[in-house]
Amino acid sequence: MRLPDSLMYENLLFNINKSKSKINDIQKEIASGQKLLTPDSDPTAYTRLATAKATRSKLSGYQENIELAHGKLSQYDDTLGSVYDLMLQLKTTTVAAGNATSGDNGADVYKAKVENILKGLISLGNTNVDGTYAFSGSLTDTPPFETADNGQYITEVSYKGDNQSKIYNLDASERMEINLSGREVFLGTAGNDESIFQITMDIRDSISENGVSNIDDHLEKLQSAMDRMLLKRGEVGNDVQHLEDLETFMDTMGLNLDTRISGLQDTDLAEAAVKLVSMQTIYNASLAMASKLGQMSILDYLR
Amino acid sequence: MSFVGLNIAGNVMRATRSAMDISGQNIANADTEGYTRQEAVISLLVSGSSLESSITGGNVSTRMTEVKRYRNELMDGNYRTENQILGEREGLDKYLTEVSSIFSDVSDYSLSDTLNKFWNSWNTASQTPEDVALRNQILEQGKILVSSIKLKATGLQELKETVTKDIYTQVDELNSLTEQLASVNSQISLAYNNVSQTNTLLDQRDLILDKLSKIADVQVVEQKDSRVNVYLDGTPLVDGNNSYDVEAQINSDNEITFVKENGREVEIKQGLLKGYKEARDEYIPSYMDELNEFASSLIEKVNQYHSTGYGLDESTGLNFFSGTDAFDIDVNITDPRQLALSSTTLESATAINLEGETITTTGTIADQADSFGITPEGSGVVSVNGVEVAWTDSQTLNEILDSIGSATGITVKFDSSSQKIILSSPTDSSSITVSDVSGNFAAFTGLAGMSSTTGSVGNGENGVRIFELSTEKLWNNQSFTDKYTGLVSRIGYETSTVNTTKGTQEQYVEMIDEIRKSESGVSIDDEMMSMIKYQTTYQAAAKYASVIDELFQTLLSDFG
């Protein structure tokens, strides 16, 4: 085939430009660290990437929720522990007051001691973390327990919160309902008999110079309140265990997703570098060829 | 002895001089666009029949009889047909690549990532709904999302305007080319007998036809006198020495139409103009529609949930987004406390007697996750989604719930641990409307609260419900992310398909062009070789003339 000069140069230029633009693409991949620069470079990978990213993002949301729930439960666990300790102290005090002999003048001291325990319990009930009240259900800006007194002793504790559970979305299908409202923890569900505050106030009011009236009855109510408290702590512990399992599971899942996302979008530097070198070789060769061909001329051979 | 020898030498020298001139012209135009290689055709001059030959007894000489123009007309035709197809692909590819770069969001600030961050901000804020700073995050992410949606929408809109301008420019180019062609036609008819001038005009003619074929699917008819007539969709653009303009107009459907001077609409089926029209009137509007559908569903769905919830300031019924499509979408809420993270869930009744209770209820439940705590009392008729269910005092609560369930298809059950009646719709998008037809409404404190008591601050149920929208399958098993990703990957697929077919067609056209050019292009090597050939012939002829001259000299001096 005849090869006119203009055609030869056109072809040379076309091929040089082609390898130059390929080099440019690889350079962009390396410089940005990303394989998918536009959706048309690999639409299938793009779809997979977007789906993986959305899943990852949602998983992060759930991980955040689990962490929050975990923190909240740990805090409840601490508070319930302190409440239990105070109840234990109340029990000791009650037994001691019951054993007091007449004429000790100790009744007022015991009464004051129980009153302090009551105040301690109320203040635990009004625990406030980061500006939110832990035990007022969903009314987190209201102190859950309000007291009324007769000048000397607290006579009434009323609940101002609600009974709503705090719900954490642990994943798409699982919700953890943390129902530790003040009513549930401190007041119980069976009226005044279960109310820790009422039990404490009753014990206080039963203390006299002659010991404690109906002491067995009081101790029995106190003990069953303490048992309920232990049960609650046990439930909290179970929930914490479940959350920890979930955390581990989600960390693994997150890691898998991260690997997949990275595989889809990140440049494989080693591969890209090798490709770059091979493209450079081709580019160099085509340039060298162009310069060699340009030097060749029939005019050199004609006098 | 006659002067025939000098005659022969003169003829040869004249012919070779002309041939060298033509080689010189070829070399000079080696890089001229559209130039066709020419060659001198030197043939025998048999002067046998002339008076001269009768004297000389039939001598033979040479002369240049023709200037041959190396043109492969079959390949010209092929080139133009394929170039029309290439034009269409190129026009479409040019703008689809632009669309692709508008949607080239693989970075961390892409729309799909912004969307993910937007959903997550609802989740984060809903876990501690009383935190105003976290609520602000929702507003911020909402604004970022809105602006990136708008950016895509206006990007498409602007691109459409650019295509329109490009179409006008190409139509101008088309008209200018047909005008030039008409003028070349008229010059061809005048220069019909001047060989070198005609060849130059033919080159111009062919170059214009090549250019025309890129723009539109024109049909070319060559006349006997080498003039060409050009037709588009059956009507003439160039007829002899006259040309007729085409105009691009925008019709009532906001689509481009091409109209001739005489008002006749012409259809362009190939070429750049077709590609541009496809991009402007088919591809871009369909992407725009899909983006609008995405935006309007986002507005509708988020608002549907948001308006049923309650803000920190007890506001309710507010829309989160304003606007209806990708162009006017905006964040409606300015005060973060108005974000309705709380659902309408009310405090459940603490004591409820399951035996022999009757219920009635009113209000609208937007979602299956809604639940009510109620204190049933009295008797009457309940209407659930328009289906009326009556009950009597003799029924237990569970029996009543069952009868509502079987009459409406809605799952109704009483959850004794939470003391709530749970209504669940079998289809997630339909809402449940509950109202009392007759009966003692006032007794239902929980439901009365639906319209008067607001949600409480610590409840983030509604916000979580909006977060759950992120993976909810709203269209044919597609979530918002799937929907948007679907659009982008469709753009990706279509762009890469057009790009590939364009590349293939480009190579095909290149190949045809190469075959064409291998005949019509100038090769310096060839020209130099013929130059030497003619030079040598010329030198030989000159030598011959001088030898003849010497012979005459000898003859004349010897006899003189």
- Quote the pLDDT of residue A208: 82
The dihedral over CA atoms of A75, A77, A78, A79, expressed in degrees to the nearest 10, equals 90
Residue B441: its pLDDT value, please?
26
The share of chain A scoring above pLDDT 90, in percent, equals 28
Q: Distance between CA atoms of B288 and B284, rounded to whole angstroms?
A: 6
Q: Which residues of A touch B479 (CB under 8 A)?
A: 54
Name which of A143-147, A152-156, A242-246, B193-197 the model is least confident about: B193-197
Count other Cβ atoms within 10 Å, centred on residue B136.
14
Q: What interface predicted TM-score (ipTM) does this complex get?
A: 0.73
User: Are residues A154 and A119 in contact, defined by beta-carbon separation less than 8 angstroms?
Assistant: yes
| A64: Cβ contacts below 8 Å, ≥ 6 apart | B120, B123, B124, B127
Q: Do A137 and B471 touch (CB under 8 A)?
A: no
d(C-alpha B541, C-alpha B10), whole Å: 8
CB distance B138 to B476 below 8 Å:
no
Fold for A72-219, please state it.
f41 fragment of flagellin, N-terminal domain (1.20.1330)
B/e letters for B154-174, b = 16+ CB within 10 Å, e = fewer, are: ebbeebbeebbebbeebbebb
Classify strands B432-439 and B363-365 as parallel, antiparallel or unpaired: antiparallel
Q: What is the dihedral of CA A195, A197, A202, A205, to 10 degrees?
A: -170
Q: How far is A38 from chain B (nearest CA, A)?
A: 5
DSSP characters for B490-539? HHHHHHHHHHHHHHHHHHHHHHHHHHHHHHHS--HHHHHHHHHHHHHHHH
Length of chain B: 560
| Dihedral sign from CA coordinates of A59, A61, A64, A66 | negative
Most confident of A139-153, A224-238, B49-63: A224-238
Q: Where are the domains of chain A?
A: 72-219
pLDDT on residue B358: 38
Mutate: best of B23, B27, B106, partner A, most A CBs <10 A: B106
Q: Which residues in chain A touch residue B371, judged by CB atoms under 8 angstroms apart?
A: none
Give the pLDDT confidence of B383-408 residue by residue, as tens digits.
666 677 765 555 555 566 677 677 76
- A138 → closest Cβ in B127, B456, B492: B456
Looking at chain A from residue 257 to 276, which residues have their Cβ under 8 Å from any Cβ of chain B?
265
For A49, the closest chain B residue by CA position comes to: B106
Is B518–A2 a contact, with Cβ atoms under 8 angstroms apart?
A: yes
How far is Cα B464 from Cα B467, in angstroms, rounded to an integer?
Answer: 5
Selected residues 407-436 of chain B with any CB under 8 Å from a CB in chain A: 418
- Residues B527/B23, Cβ–Cβ less than 8 Å: yes
Taking only residues 107 to 126 of chain A, the set having a beta carbon closer than 8 angstroms to any beta carbon of chain B reads: none
B394: its two tokens: 């003799």
Residues of B in contact with A5 (CB under 8 A): 30, 521-525
| pLDDT score at A35 | 83
Which sign, positive or negative, has the C-alpha torsion B139, B141, B145, B147?
positive
pLDDT value at position B42?
85
Burial of B320 (0-12, 13-18, 19+ CB in 10 A): buried
Closest by Cβ to B522, choosing from A5, A141, A166? A5
Q: Which of A10, A38, A49 to mutate to test the interface with B (most CBs of B within 10 A)?
A: A38
Minimal C-alpha gap between A217 and chain B (Å): 27
Q: What angle do CA B125, B131, B134 make, to 5 degrees?
A: 45
Distance CA B126, CA B468 (A): 12
Instruction: Give residue-wise pLDDT tens across range B185-208.
Output: 999 988 867 777 888 899 999 999
- In this complex, do B484 and A4 lie within 8 Å of one another by their Cβ atoms? no
Chain B environment of A14 (Cβ under 8 Å): 510
pLDDT at B439: 38
Report yes or no: B191 and B200 within 8 Å, Cβ to Cβ: no
Closest CA to B481 of B152, B102, B113: B113
What are the backbone dihedrals phi and psi of residue B357, each rounded to the nearest 5 degrees, phi first? -85, 155
Contact B462, B305 (CB under 8 A): yes
Alpha carbons B85 and B68: distance in angstroms, whole number:
31
Average pLDDT of the residues in A77-105: 85
pLDDT at site B249 = 93
pLDDT of residue B93: 95
Instruction: Give this prediction's pTM.
Output: 0.73
- For residues A174 and B24, the model is more confident at B24
Residue A101: the pLDDT is 66
Q: How far apart are CA B177 and CA B116, in angstroms?
A: 53
Low pLDDT (below 50) residues in chain B? 53-55, 57, 345-377, 416-419, 427-431, 436-455
Q: What is the pLDDT of residue A267?
A: 87
- Give A6→chain B minimum CA distance, Å: 6
Provide the residue count of chain A.
Answer: 303
Say yes or no to pLDDT of A171 above 90.
Answer: no
Averaged pLDDT for residues A33-60:
85
* Best CA proximity match to A57, nearest among A267, A249, A248, A261: A261
Residue in A3, A11, A36, A40 to test binding to B, most B beta-carbons within 10 Å:
A40
- Is B119 within 8 Å of A50 when comparing Cβ atoms? no
Taking only residues 486 to 545 of chain B, the set having a beta carbon closer than 8 angstroms to any beta carbon of chain A reads 486, 488-493, 495-496, 499, 510, 514, 517-526, 528-529, 532
Tokens 């105040």 belong to: A119
The strand pairing partners of B219, in sequence order, are B231
> Cα–chain-centroid distance for residue B76?
30
Put simply, the answer to whether B471 touches A169 (Cβ < 8 Å) is: no
What residues form DSSP beta bridges with B425?
none
| Inter-chain residue contact B101 with A38, CB threshold 8 Å | yes
Mean pLDDT for chain A? 86
Q: CB pairs below 8 Å between A and B: how many?
A: 178
Per-position DSSP letters for B176-204, written without gaps between them = HHHHHHHHHHHHHHHSTT-HHHHHHHHHH
Residues B355, B335: Cα–Cα separation, whole Å: 47
Listed residue (B222, B271, B243) closest to B80, CA to CA:
B271
Average pLDDT over residues A275-285: 93
Q: Is A53 on the interface with B (CB under 8 A)?
A: yes
pLDDT of the residue at A133: 85
Pull the structure tokens for residue A36. Answer: 């998918």
Closest CA relative to residue B467, chosen from A291, A44, A169, A68: A169
Q: How sure is the predictor about A68, in pLDDT bands with cuts at 50, 70 and 90?
A: confident
Over the stretch A1-11, which tens digit does the pLDDT of each residue have? 788 888 888 88
Check CB contact under 8 Å for B350 and A189. Answer: yes
The residues pairing with A156 across neighbouring beta strands, listed in sequence order, are: A148
Q: Work out the pLDDT band at A108, boundaries 50, 70, 90.
A: confident
Closest-CA distance, A278 to chain B, in angstroms, reads 23
- Answer with the residue of higher pLDDT: A99 or B223: B223
Alpha-carbon span B255 to B260, nearest angstrom = 16
* Segment (H or E) for B272: helix B271-278
**Over 70: is that where the pLDDT of A172 sits?**
yes
Q: What is the 3-state secondary structure (H, E, C) of chain A?
A: CCCCHHHHHHHHHHHHHHHHHHHHHHHHHHHHCECCCCHHHCHHHHHHHHHHHHHHHHHHHHHHHHHHHHHHHHHHHHHHHHHHHHHHHHHHHHHHHHHCCCCCCCHHHHHHHHHHHHHHHHHHHCCEECCEECCCCCCCCCCCEEEEECCCCEEEEEECCCCCCEEEECCCCCEEEECCCHHHHHHCCCHHHHCHHHHHHHHHHHEECCEECCHHHHHHHHHHHHHHHHHHHHHHHHHHHHHHHHHHHHHHHHHHHHHHHHHHHECCHHHHHHHHHHHHHHHHHHHHHHHHHHHCCHHHHCC
Cα distance between residue A250 and residue A174, in whole Å: 13
Contacts of A62 (CB under 8 A, 6+ apart): A169, A170, A171, A250
Q: Give B518's contacts in chain A (Cβ within 8 Å).
A: 1-4, 7
Query: Half-sphere exposure of residue B434, counting CA atoms within 13 Å on the CB side?
Result: 29
